[in-house]
A and B are shown apart, each in its own frame.
Chain A
């Protein structure tokens, strides 16, 4: 079975500082990996996705993530935080193929706070 663990339920950074949100996954077969963002009172929006084409994935709003198979990780980074990045972030995994019916398994979420 696939699973996702997000390390740190809350992360706080200063504006302009590096953002690092951690995600580790468990999957017995090559996975598809996703990062979603949820702004207050909104649904989830896709930030980026890993599809095995490239290990470093660039997404919207300056975010990127690197797939590291040896570490089973897919950490999300942004070089310089902006106040508008304050939101909750979710990592998700879906195994490729099989009878998964496109089901995504989500991590617990990480709330990012950005201080002026």
Chain B
């Protein structure tokens, strides 16, 4: 089983609908992130969480919200989806204080979202 699991893997929705992307991890890491990937733009940070009580905006948080339900779960919501939110979304974890002090990220396999 994957250490970082994202659901759904693919989703097609319509403009104005509310969408939730879920992420769960078994790595025991405190830090979790949501990135968005667009062709030619690389990965851009949407939100990140240091622990359950810590939520921070990234560089492109407008139109998104997150919830850290537990150490292992971090969900991303689009309250009212719009077509320019069509993208590939990645959840990632890191553990700076533990076995990976360099802060490398461990990624899920991505959730492809299409907003019509």
Contacts and interface: CB of A to CB of B under 8 A. Distances in A.
A102 B94 contact: yes
Contacts of B92: 44
A51 B102 contact: yes
A102 B30 CA distance: 11
Contact of A49 (B4, B42, B58, B102): B102
Interface stretch (B12-20, B62-70, B78-86, B104-112): B104-112
Interface in A31-88: 32, 34, 36, 41-46, 49, 51
A32 B102 contact: yes
Contact of A104 (B41, B105, B109): B105
B60 interface: no
Contacts of B108: 43
Given A43-B90, A44-B90, A102-B31, A32 B42 contact: no
Nearest to A110: B42
Interface core residue of B90, B94, B103 (most chain A CB under 10 Å): B103
B74 interface: no
B31 A101 contact: yes
A20 to B, nearest CB: 19
Interface residues of A, number: 26
A113 B40 CA distance: 16
Interface in A15-39: 32, 34, 36
Given A43-B107, A103-B58, 5 more contacts: A6-B42, A36-B107, A41-B109, A43-B90, A103-B48
Contacts of A90: 42-43
23 contacts: A6-B42, A32-B102, A32-B103, A41-B109, A43-B107, A43-B108, A43-B110, A44-B43, A44-B92, A46-B104, A46-B105, A46-B106, A49-B102, A49-B104, A51-B102, A90-B43, A94-B102, A102-B105, A103-B33, A104-B103, A104-B105, A107-B42, A108-B41
B40 A109 contact: yes
Given A43-B110, A101-B56, A102-B31, A109 B105 contact: no
Nearest to B58: A103
A101 B55 CA distance: 11
